[in-house]
Each structure stands twice: as C-alpha cells, then as structure tokens.
Structure 1
Amino acid sequence: MNLTSSRWAELSLVVVTMIWGGTFLIVQTAVHTAGPLAFVGTRFAIAALIAAALSRRHLRGFTALELGAGLAIGACIFAGYSLQTLGLQYITSSKSAFITAFYVPTVPLLQWLFQRQQPHVAALVGSAMSFIGLACLAGPEGMRGGFGHGEMLTALGALAISAEIILIGRYASRVNVARVTVVQLAVAALLAFIAMPVAGESLPGLAPLFFLCALALGMASAAIQYVMNWAQRQVSATKATLIYAGEPVWAGVFGLLAGEHIPALAVLGAAMIIAASIIGEWRKA
C-alpha cells in the first residue's frame, strides 16, 4: 500500500460521509411531495438498476447463499430507510442524522446478544453515552420519558441498520459482493412498493422534485457501495468507522445552511453520540 492510494481512499470515504450527511435534507424535501414508502421504493429501484448495469458481467452464477444474504440484508435496508424516512416527517434532518449515528455503538451489543461475541469495554461505554445523547437530542420531554414519535421511528431504523451491518459482516467473505448488492437493493425497493398499498400510498403523478431527489439518491446509493468496497481494501475498519462518525456533523452543517435551528442541548447530545461512535470502535493497536 503506498501513501498516495491510502490518502485517496480516506478522502473518498470523507466524500461518502459528506454525501450521507446531505441525504437527510434531500429525503426530507422529497417526502413533502409523496409518501415515504414511495420515495424509498423509487430510490432503491433506481439504485438497483444502476448497480445491475455496473455489475452486469458478474450477474451470472447466483448461489442460494447469495440470494439468501441479499434477501436478509435487503429487508434490513427496507426497514432501516423506511423508518428513517417516516421519522423525517416529524423531526429535522440534522436530528435524524444524529439519532441514526446510534447504530455504530449498537452493533457490538447486538453481536454480543445474537452471536455471543463479547464486546470490548469501550463499546459498552459508547452505548451508554449514546443513550444519554439520544435523551439530549429529544430535549427535556425526551429526558422525562416522552420520547417523540419521530425520534422513536428513527431509533428503530438505526437498529435495523445495525442488523444490516452485522449481516454484511457475516456474509461478505463468502459471497460475490456485486451480486449481493444488486439483490439487496432490489429487495429493499420491492418491499417498499409492496408496503405502499398497506400504508395507503401511491406513486405521485407528475412530480419533478420527487423524481429528481429519488434519482440523485438512487445514483448516490449505488455509487457509495462501490466506493466503500474499494476504499476499505486500503483503510482499516476502525479508521473507516471514525470517518463515518462525521456523518451527523455534515448533516448538521447542511441543516444549518438550510435554516434549521439546533438547540444547545441537541448540540450536546450530538457531540455525545459522535464521541460514542468513536469510543465504541476504539481498539488498542
């Protein structure tokens, strides 16, 4: 590994994190023109088509394991992003990003519960800090136990994202990443479209803003996966996670630029969740 390629890989992950931070505001804009499930379905359908086009040379020879992995991961993506998008109808994009960051210290706890992998003490400290940070983000009502509807939906979405990360880690070394990526994106889109009638949603008619947002995030979702796969060959998982921890910071920056007000208590909660994300992944070299 030479220094130049490593620096480019780290820079690419910073760009990915910036894009993640900006997506919260785009999603919040899109759901004003159509239902959240319609947006999730359209977004991931576009991403699946793009991923399939980029991976067309790898799409032959699917195995049962790859289909099963894609189905499970896709279901988690659907749950995570649908709940997050639903939550954005009630809370600001910056608060949504901060709460979503809760997935980082949650992953080792779920691995402990379901895979019997005892977490490092730093992960436990990070999880405790995340709970306190979430209470601060919810404001005084949240700390009195009145956790809001939007915050709850987003926190549940973060748990689904945690499950997604664990599943990816479980299957990554045993499957073709390109094929599984196409399946999981397609499954997420299909589940969202299936759920739309249940939720009383339908695709919007002529809504240029909706489809422009869906196209932008669909392209981003497909591209981000490939960039991460390339960059993390040269950047350690710990360092990559430290870079990803900046996601809510960028969301807050974009939120402020868009005129959102972020109370001091929410800033404190955000800082605690970012710190928890870093502490939760800390390991001795």
Structure 2
Amino acid sequence: MHNRSILAQLLLVFVTLLWGSTFLTLQIALTWADPVVIVALRFVIATGILTCLLRGEILKISRYEWKAGIVVGICIFGVYTLQTIGLQSIASSTSAFLTGLYVGFVPLLQWLIFKNAPQPITIVTIVLAFAGMTLFANPFSVSFSGQMGEWITVLSALICAAEILSISYFTKGCRPLQLSFTQLITVACLALLTLLWHEPSRPTEWTSGLFICVIALAAIVSFVQFGIGWALKYVPAMRATLIYALEPVFAGIIGWFAGEQFGLSELSGATLIIFAVLISAWRPSSGKKNNGETL
C-alpha cells in the first residue's frame, strides 16, 4: 500500500504537469472559438475517447458509479463555466489568484463536512502553498467592489474544492475508468445544454489548429480524470490539493519555454509551493484510511 501511495502521488504530479500544459493550448484555441464551445467540444471528444476504451463495459457501469460521476461532473462543469464567466470581467491574473483559494477551501470543507479540524502542519503547508500561488498572480488588483466576476470566481474555487473532496469520497467505491466516463459525459451533456441558450462571444472558426488543440485538450482531460480517480484511492484529499498547487509552477515553466516572462516573483512562488508539497509528502501517515480527511 505504501508503494501505491508513492506511485499515486507521482501520478498526481504528472497529472498536474499535464494540467499546466493546457493553459497554453487553451489560449491558442481561444483565438478560434468561444470558451463554452471549446468546453463542449473538449468534453464531447473526451467522452468519445473513454467510450472507445470501455466499449461494451458501459452497460455494466453501476448505479453508484453513475451517481458519483454525476455529482463530480456537475462540480467540474460549475468550475469551468464560472471561471469562463468570471474572466469576462476580470484579468486572468486575478482569476488565477482567486481560483487558488481552493487550497484553503479544501480543509475548510473537511472541517465542516468531516468534523475534522486541520492540524498545525496542515495549516503551515496551506499557507506556504497559497503564498507561493499568490506570487504567480496579482492579488493587489482584487477589490470586490462592483466586480461580480471576482465573486463568481471565488464561487468556482469553492466548487473546485468540493470537486476534490467528492472524488476523494466516491473513488473508494468506483472503478477509475467508469468513474471518469460518467464524469465526462455529465460535463459534455451540461455543456451542450448550455450552448442552447449561450450566445457565443465570437463565431467559431473551424480550422485544423482548433481541432488539434481541442483533441489534445480532450485527451489530456480523459487521462487526468482517470489518473485522479485512481490516485485518490491512496492519497488523502489535502495532500492531493497541495500537489495540485504545482499547476502554476508547471504552467509558468511551459510558458517560459514558449517565450513568456518567468521572473524572481514566479521563481520564489515555485520554491514555496514545492517546499509545501515536500513537507506534505515527508510527513508520516497517521495510519487512517483515506477518506479525504487527513493530510
């Protein structure tokens, strides 16, 4: 079990690396299509990928796996949709900072739901990780005065924390591939329904570049959801959350290779986040089963 825990944490690091890579791909895709259109295409294709992998096993998906996938899928859709809406009125750096609030929301929800107050070491790692994420953004531009986009993005961060805890809760009774399928098809259906009333901000340009980007994004989200579903069987939700905090680090490094600025502030933030993750990984397990309530 200890070896699987280590493997699961390494898988989450790789998953977070893939997540970080999607920012640049998504930015390119947005030059050809509306964000909601991209979300719909991404998750429809991702659902198709898992349909091919599952084949005849889809009819054998249990009621519990459908229930879990629908709950988690609603959370995923909420995060993507609210972030998109928020970005229409606030800067991307502000959005990144406010989204990072999920690092603090996870232990808060654990406390409220599981009645388990965070331990001192958990608070230390949260502060370190959030401080590091702050250095990647510009929190001083946040005002909360007449900016609905800021409040909407905070709500998306809260839902993101609920998503992490939901996967951690349901994953023990689900098969990873089946759970991933039910999640993705839920998001795809919700995104397609949204397109019935959503007015795209720009017409879609059906270029080969758009298809390449969307297929890449779909393949990544398919693997990411499967990887998370498997890894959270062996990694507590709070520790996984700290690993997810590496996302801006990987995104910044990839952006740096693409020609973006990566200065002293970003380097300092990366150091703090990595330090928080190392403290979390070094801390010996308490011996409890993973139910999402320990670091």
Q: Same fold (TM over 0.5)?
A: yes
For residues 161 and 227 of structure 1, the distance between their equivalents in structure 2, rounded to whole angstroms, comes to: 17
Aligned counterpart, 1:208: 208
Shift of 1:179: 2.2
- For residues 133 and 2 of structure 1, the distance between their equivalents in structure 2, rounded to whole angstroms, comes to 29
Match of 1:184? 183
Query: Structure 1 residues 193 and 2 mapped into 2: Cα distance closer, same or farther (>3 Å)?
Result: closer
Judge conservation of contact 1:41–1:189 (CA < 8 Å) in 2: yes
Contact 1:38 1:203 survives alignment (8 Å): no
Q: 1:71 to 1:236 in 2, by over 3 A?
A: closer
Contact kept, 8 Å, 2:83 with 2:152, in 1: the verdict is: yes
CA contact (8 A) 1:22 1:250 kept: yes
Q: Name the residue aligned to 1:75.
A: 74
Q: Quote how far apart the aligned CAs of 1:26 are.
A: 1.3
Aligned mates of 1:203, 1:77 — CA distance in 2:
25
After TM superposition, list the pairs within 5 Å mapping 1:237-252 onto structure 2: 237=236, 243-252=243-252
Which position in structure 1 is the counterpart of 2:42?
43
- Corresponding residue for residue 159 of structure 2: 160
| Matched letter for residue 253 of structure 2 | V
- Residue of structure 2 equivalent to 1:54: 53
Contact kept, 8 Å, 2:134 with 2:269, in 1: the verdict is yes
Measure the CA separation in 2 of the matches of 1:272 and 1:146: 30
Q: Which has the higher contact order (CA 8 A, sep 6+)?
A: 1
Q: What CA distance in whole angstroms lies between the structure 1 residues aligned with 2:245 and 2:262?
A: 19
SS of equivalent to 2:65:
helix
Are the counterparts in 2 of residues 126 and 276 from structure 1 also a CA contact under 8 Å?
Answer: yes
1:193 & 1:15 partners in 2: Cα distance? Answer: 30
Q: Check the 8 A contact 1:102/1:277 in 2, yes or no.
A: no
Percent identity, please: 36
SS in 1 for 2:138: helix
Q: Any conservation in 1 of the 2:72–2:183 contact (CA below 8 Å)?
A: yes
Q: Structure 2, unaligned stretches of length 5 or more?
A: 286-295
Contact 1:58–1:178 (CA under 8 A) maintained in structure 2: no
TM norm structure 1: 0.77
Shift of the 156–264 alpha-carbon distance from structure 1 to 2, 3 Å rule, reads: farther
In structure 2, C-alpha distance between the alignment counterparts of 1:271 and 1:156, rounded to whole Å: 28
Deviations 1:247-275 (A, max 9, x none): 21111112233343467556656665666
Question: Contact conserved, 2:73 with 2:186, CA < 8 A, in 1?
Answer: yes
Task: Give the alignment of 1:1-285 within 5 angstroms.
Answer: 12-86=11-85, 91-92=91-92, 100-127=99-126, 137-142=137-142, 153-201=152-200, 204-229=204-229, 236-237=235-236, 243-261=243-261, 283-285=283-285
Structure 1 residue 187: Cα displacement: 0.9
Shift of 1:107: 1.2
User: What is the root-mean-square deviation in Å for CA atoms of aligned residues?
Assistant: 3.9
Q: Matches of 2:227 and 2:257 in 1, distance apart?
A: 27
Q: 1:32 Cα deviation (Å)?
A: 2.5
2-side partners of 1:18 and 1:118: how far apart?
A: 30
Cα distance in 1 for partners of 2:225, 2:240 equals 14
Question: Number of aligned pairs?
Answer: 281
- Counterpart-to-counterpart distance in 2, 1:70 and 1:59: 13
Q: Does the 8 Å contact 1:245/1:278 carry over to 2?
A: no
Secondary structure at the aligned position of 1:52 is classed as helix
Deviates further, 99-108 or 38-47: 99-108
Q: Deviations over 1:6-40 (max 9, x none)?
A: 88766554432221111112112212221111111
Most deviating of 188-197 and 256-265 = 256-265
Instruction: Tell me, in whole angstroms, the C-alpha distance in 2 between the residues paired with 1:44 and 1:167.
Output: 19
CA 1:87–1:165: 2 relative to 1, 3 Å: same
Give the Cα separation in 2 of the matches to 1:49 and 1:59. Answer: 12
Residue deviations 1:25-68 (CA, integer Å, cap 9, x gap): 21122122211111111111111111121122432233332222
Moved more, 31-40 or 118-127: 118-127
Distance (Å, rounded) in 1 between the aligned partners of 2:74 and 2:102: 17
Tell whether the 8 Å contact from 2:97 to 2:138 is kept in structure 1 after alignment: no
CA 1:140 to 1:118, structure 2 compared with 1: closer, same or farther past 3 Å? closer
Deviation per CA, 1:51-109, whole angstroms, max 9, x where unpaired?
Answer: 121122432233332222111110111111233345566545x7766654443442121
